[in-house]
Structure 1
Amino acid sequence: MSQFIKQYGARRTGTNLLRAMLQINCPNCNVLMHILGDKHQKPIDFNQLRDELRSGANALEKIKQVTNLRRAETTDLNERSQNTYIDEASCGLAEAIKNRQVFILISIKHPYAWGHSIMKWFGYQQAKKHAPYQASEYLKSLATACHQFNHNYAAWLNLAEELPDRALVVQHEKLLQDQASVFFDICKVLNLPRPASFTAVSGIVFPTHWDNEPTEVHYLPFNHAYYTNKNYLAALTEPELAVIKNTIDWELMRQFGYDSAI
């Protein structure tokens, strides 16, 4: 029987690494990135969905509806493989929702580390070299991303507080330091079957297109210390640091275990 886990987390916070680790070590786990809504967006109302399903709503139609309500960029339920996958999963998933058996994992990274990662994702590292005049536009994009970061993590924290026995926050730094410890914490909190042995994910995990596809791991060197030792701070410019420090909701972040000190 599948154990359904719904993922949430901002871009560049280790959601793909977490999914890969779970798929390798807990093959019965069905880790949902886009079904029930995009993992990078605020959550659906799980209580409302549970009540509607308990009242007799069609499982497949409701799950498709909420998936499209927070549709990911890669979600296209007219695409055959996605439609087939959600069709096959809907019955078991609906039962898990009705019985309060969908677990929640929320990935997060220190806001300074996340800010550095998101600027790389924006392409700012190359722009600094070849188009420095675009810096102000990139900084505006960073500020917008910070506001979205605040908005989403406030919503995800509320969800975790509503479901304290079914939700867990995973700090990316801890995941990089000790995957096994994080994995067994997940097993304990979410009451997942604990395997006899653990296999760590080695290499770089590439983003997965959709939930029906396995995680793609490329066994290339990855410098964990760059994040665990905060080496990324040296790569952040003063304007970048200022945007992150002044825009991130640090009162909210303290509830996730982070503060603004550099």
Structure 2
Amino acid sequence: MITTIKQYGEIRTGTNYLRALIMRNYPDVQMLSYILGSKHLPPAPFDAIWDASRQAGDTAAFDFVSSATYARRGGASHPGDLTQRAELVRRAPAIAQAYVTNSLGFLVTIKHPYAWVVSAAQFLGWVCGDERIGDWSLELMKEACQNYTRKYRAWSELVREHGSRARLIRYEDLMVEPEQVLGKIAEQFRWRRATRFSAVSAVIEPTHWDHLPVMEAEETFRPEYYRNAEYLDRLSATHLRLIDQLMDWELLGSLGYDKR
């Protein structure tokens, strides 16, 4: 049974929602969003970090977990934060044990690039409300698309390397059929649920570190927004050409994503 899970995924791809669903339905599963590195960055070099850390003897577990966390820390993890350090101390033995026994799992979420660009534009402040994205943001969009491609190539390689211990999850499937998606994850990782499936209907607020609880927003999710591809109304022909040019459509096609 694999119950220690490192999650990855770009911003606005359902990482917080997936964490909330798993914590609600499988409370024994330990989800790692920022421990072992930011969920929004490519994986840390775990093998090299472990080789260096295991020489530390009694502190090897903490050295491994903290080193991996800060190797890919993004803006969320801070070595001087005493609360984060205490959380690393508490969790390090179990996480290191999962790593050395090949029982550390990986879950990666992904969203169709057209929908993702619109979500990222809202989140990063390129656009307000429901307005269309302006062409002034093309350079920002270019950089975002290049990072998306780079990260998903790295995460897809991680999934290929770890096979039965890793899974790539489409945001669209997770939001529309969460029970079925979690059921497939549970079957793969051999989880058992003691109660009936409990859905999460609210929008989940961003979680800024692993010790913080799930926070629900007042608004609710509209699955028809993705089902009807309403996000396309906010992209110009210029935006679509840029996205088509910069995304890895061979990789995306293997996941069932197509160009417009």
TM-score normalised by L of structure 2? 0.92
Which residue identity lines up with residue 198 of structure 1 in the other structure? F
4+ aligned runs moved over 3 Å, structure 1: 46-57, 127-132
SS at match of 1:94: helix
Deviations 1:50-80 (A, max 9, x none): 5556666511012111111101211113212
Distance in 1, Cα, partners of 2:106 & 2:183:
15
Which residue identity lines up with residue 252 of structure 1 in the other structure? L
The 1:48/1:199 distance shift into structure 2, 3 A limit, reads: same
Partner of 2:89: 87
Query: Are 1:109 and 1:173, in contact at CA under 8 Å, matched by a contact in 2?
Result: yes
Partner of 1:188: 187
1:168 paired with 2:170, answer no
Partner of 1:114: 116
Query: Are 2:2 and 2:191, in contact at CA under 8 Å, matched by a contact in 1?
Result: no
Deviation at 1:254, TM superposition (A): 1.6
Which residue identity lines up with residue 176 of structure 1 in the other structure? M
Distance in 1, Cα, partners of 2:240 & 2:191:
39
Deviation at 1:221, TM superposition (A): 2.5
Distance in 2, Cα, partners of 1:153 & 1:248:
10
SS at match of 1:151: helix
Distance in 2, Cα, partners of 1:239 & 1:63:
44
Which residue identity lines up with residue 94 of structure 1 in the other structure? A
Farther-moved stretch of structure 1 (8-17 vs 236-245): 236-245
Query: Are 1:147 and 1:247, in contact at CA under 8 Å, matched by a contact in 2?
Result: yes
Deviations 1:22-56 (A, max 9, x none): 11111111111111111111112334445556666
Alignment of 1:21-36 (within 5 A): 21-36=21-36
Partner of 1:240: 239
Which residue identity lines up with residue 110 of structure 1 in the other structure? H
SS at match of 1:163: helix
1:4 paired with 2:4, answer yes
Deviations 1:60-105 (A, max 9, x none): 0121111111012111132121111110000111111110111100
The 1:206/1:128 distance shift into structure 2, 3 A limit, reads: closer
Query: Are 2:174 and 2:181, in contact at CA under 8 Å, matched by a contact in 1?
Result: yes
The 1:3/1:161 distance shift into structure 2, 3 A limit, reads: same
The 1:29/1:128 distance shift into structure 2, 3 A limit, reads: closer
1:221 paired with 2:220, answer yes
Any unmatched runs of 5+ in structure 1? Answer: none
Partner of 2:198: 199
Deviations 1:104-159 (A, max 9, x none): 00000011110111111232323997996xx33x1111110101111110110111
1:43 paired with 2:74, answer no
Distance in 1, Cα, partners of 2:129 & 2:116:
18
Partner of 1:60: 62
CA-based RMSD: 2.3
Distance in 2, Cα, partners of 1:32 & 1:106:
12
Query: Are 2:117 and 2:141, in contact at CA under 8 Å, matched by a contact in 1?
Result: yes
The 1:204/1:167 distance shift into structure 2, 3 A limit, reads: same
SS at match of 1:212: coil
Deviation at 1:239, TM superposition (A): 2.1
Deviations 1:139-184 (A, max 9, x none): 1111101011111101101110110010011100001111100111
SS at match of 1:125: coil
Distance in 1, Cα, partners of 2:229 & 2:83:
41
